[in-house]
Structure 1
């Protein structure tokens, strides 16, 4: 029996005890059943909502920012593209509800494993560490999207029904607390080189990102260095293959040979398109000779020769032609860690160290060393390199514009509906009606 199959509520604040409590404690008496429950969390993460699936943050936030033009007809996606998002929009509610349902499932595992009388201490540590990571990871995405959010650490339906929004500094505290606890519980096991389950290295990767976002430059540098010493950058043609040496964590696509949602959504196979294409400004931002342009983008021209559209071509498999999937959905990879450390170092005054990390990324892309040699110019270069290295991956571009104070400058000229309050999305209207403790609504909505 899988834990998540017992979670049938529409919202984490609508928890009905008979539906949402475990039918039996026997789930936690055997490591195999807990492992299945954890696996189901990752399946849900892969197929629905924020992390992967149709209109995940990779595509939706690319549309919200300055990566993707949108030609489709989905009302919710059109509102993201034009910056006319409403608190009643389905996309906003989907992200919120999906994330909190999985957080509930992670809390269920944490509590059930702690109470188990039969699991070994080794298994308890492994499952608790993985669930703590999942809880922190999903809360970190919610914080970046919605601003202050409740940090849910229990399955108590009464407490969840009355949850209040947690101030941002306290959310960072809780994130780091969960992740530091996971550090003490997990090891470096990389699951037969597939990197499909959170281990110690994955926790370090998220900690590096969280420390960067919260402005703790020294700890961001330390966490990124932990990873850089244990991984190597991959050949540019192999970065997005499931066996890439650069991958820190990826979501397995299942037993059958299926494809990533990134490939299915982003690769244009004909004009008219399935709805989105790379913005011209992004395509034009690549320097001459940049291998990321020639290897990670592609184009298609209409039969009449009048229209050429560019698309992200990092993931390349759009048809199931083999007996095994060749690409998994990558959530953390080493290149981000170099750029995290580069940014942390320049903030700490280590100009040469920052240059060295930037140059590793540029050189892999076939480019020469950066000429930037002061803090302001290096920060601009880092933002530029993050744009070209991480485009259409996990909403990085939007989160970078937001946290570096560049959203207004970049988006107001190209988004007719832009308002400076758009740096956060609205709390879903349905959640505010069910739990008034979540008020006030974010400014601008």
Structure 2
């Protein structure tokens, strides 16, 4: 696996990021968001590339993306009843009960981490896109990757908070007073950025390291965005293009290999290189794998544990258990390493996007268009890998039955990953039906109070 921990490149990446941030480090998620005030001008291709690499490294430390207890994956899992809180942590319990307050520090960290990521991307766009000192190839790569990461971040912000400020430059005096933009405008930027990224990015992965975005990563997110916008034909088209790239991507037969570094299923991953020391484990594994009664703050919910088909290999390979005299705790076991301080090879990367989702996107898009037989083929790719009997298409199969199957497969395939279950329940209008004691105003997280106090033009979501 590629390593540059504790060497010149890693230090240079951090140094460039510090230059980009006028006041404070990007990993300080609690600091005010709008602190990039000057344009960084990169002196050459090498410096620019190292700065972009630094952004990828810092994603591992940015609350919303890191996989820890302030991340989309964790907080979205609490909201969707994927987890139950087993340690008395009031701020986690508030998310599980759909009652996070505007003062909740986990919520603030998620919001701030997302905007810090956006500001890093904006700084690179301003410092690199029109920089005549860089080669055309480097300028295109910087623009494509920065636009992709920015829009990936906005996708989660708008789906978790609704209308959000659109920040596309680094001037603190402007950013500090930004009002919330309607979600339609946020999606306009998302589509603009993704379409541009897809034009600019290459199809491969340098050094076969899947921690950088490429053209198929952008197309995969375009497929997801169009699914959320109910543009079924476009969702099918973009997912089909990703699924056709069989020289790059495949579903590994062994479920235990899916989350390994540079897995052939990975569209995009984040490396534990961001620890900056000798740690080689992911934050996801460190948080969720339980080796003592209090070793993790959560356990998988009873609802999730009761809904598996007999013989589903995902239940066997992706769920672990810890037993004591009083209780059995179940936990996600997609990542197998809880802690490793050996400084050895990085055998697991955190997964941000993977191929199985593209099969499920296309299956849903095809079902919505009435292409049921083709949708069954996509669902069967997932079922077969999970060790389940394949579905047989018959004219008696209804669209509603097949949509239910798609949602069930999304639940079992993507549990504990990037809030998929929470966002699926919301976008399909099922959240109030499936989750207990959830009201319409619980479907969006509160705008953090700290942000409201700093910016008089921000408004709060209803119900908070």
Residue in 1 that maps onto 2:121: 106
- Per-residue CA shift, 1:43-86, capped at 9, x if unaligned? 22112311114212212211121111112233321211222211
Residue in 2 that maps onto 1:431: 451
Residue 178 of structure 2 contacts residue 457 of structure 2 at CA under 8 Å; is this kept in 1?
yes
Distance 1:12 1:299, change over 3 A: closer
Residue in 2 that maps onto 1:49: 63
Residue in 1 that maps onto 2:195: 180
Residue in 1 that maps onto 2:174: 159
Match of 2:358 among 321, 327, 337: 337
Superposition misfits of 4+ residues, deviation over 3 angstroms: 8-16
Residue 225 of structure 1 contacts residue 341 of structure 1 at CA under 8 Å; is this kept in 2?
yes
Distance 1:252 1:11, change over 3 A: closer
- Per-residue CA shift, 1:179-223, capped at 9, x if unaligned? 111111111121222211011111111111111111111111111
Deviation at 1:29, TM superposition (A): 1.7
Distance 1:430 1:367, change over 3 A: same
Distance 1:318 1:312, change over 3 A: same
Residue 13 of structure 1 contacts residue 435 of structure 1 at CA under 8 Å; is this kept in 2?
no
Structure 1 stretches of 5 or more lacking a match? none
Q: For 2:18 and 2:368, how far apart are their aligned partners in 1?
A: 42
Match of 2:402 among 374, 378, 396: 378
Q: For 1:13 and 1:94, how far apart are their aligned partners in 2?
A: 11
- Per-residue CA shift, 1:97-155, capped at 9, x if unaligned? 11112111111111111231210001000011100011101110101110111221111
Residue in 1 that maps onto 2:17: 3
Match of 1:219 among 234, 242, 252: 234
Residue 20 of structure 2 contacts residue 120 of structure 2 at CA under 8 Å; is this kept in 1?
no
Q: Does 1:71 align with 2:73?
A: no
Residue in 2 that maps onto 1:398: 422
SS in 2 for 1:438: coil
After superposition, the CA RMSD in angstroms is 1.9
Q: Does 1:411 align with 2:432?
A: no
Q: For 2:398 and 2:188, how far apart are their aligned partners in 1?
A: 31
Residue 280 of structure 2 contacts residue 344 of structure 2 at CA under 8 Å; is this kept in 1?
no
Q: Does 1:282 align with 2:316?
A: no
With the length of structure 2 as denominator, give the TM-score of the two structures. Answer: 0.89
Deviation at 1:436, TM superposition (A): 2.3
Equivalent residue runs for 1:125-274 within 5 Å: 125-230=140-245, 231-235=249-253, 236-254=255-273, 256=278, 258-274=280-296
Deviation at 1:39, TM superposition (A): 2.0
Q: For 2:362 and 2:262, how far apart are their aligned partners in 1?
A: 24
Q: For 2:321 and 2:85, how far apart are their aligned partners in 1?
A: 16
Q: Does 1:295 align with 2:317?
A: yes
Q: For 2:161 and 2:227, how far apart are their aligned partners in 1?
A: 18
Deviation at 1:14, TM superposition (A): 6.0
Q: For 1:21 and 1:220, how far apart are their aligned partners in 2?
A: 38
SS in 1 for 2:207: coil
Q: For 1:174 and 1:217, how far apart are their aligned partners in 2?
A: 20
Q: For 2:31 and 2:321, how far apart are their aligned partners in 1?
A: 42
Q: For 1:267 and 1:11, how far apart are their aligned partners in 2?
A: 27
Residue 216 of structure 2 contacts residue 267 of structure 2 at CA under 8 Å; is this kept in 1?
yes
SS in 2 for 1:66: coil
Deviation at 1:430, TM superposition (A): 1.9
Match of 2:45 among 16, 22, 31: 31
**How many residues are matched?**
433
Residue in 1 that maps onto 2:372: 351
Q: For 1:343 and 1:229, how far apart are their aligned partners in 2?
A: 17
Residue 48 of structure 1 contacts residue 54 of structure 1 at CA under 8 Å; is this kept in 2?
no
Structure 2 stretches of 5 or more lacking a match? 1-14
Residue in 1 that maps onto 2:462: 443
Distance 1:4 1:147, change over 3 A: farther
Residue in 1 that maps onto 2:37: 20
Say which is worse superposed, 227-236 or 247-256, in terms of deviation.
247-256
Residue in 1 that maps onto 2:385: 364
Residue 319 of structure 2 contacts residue 330 of structure 2 at CA under 8 Å; is this kept in 1?
yes
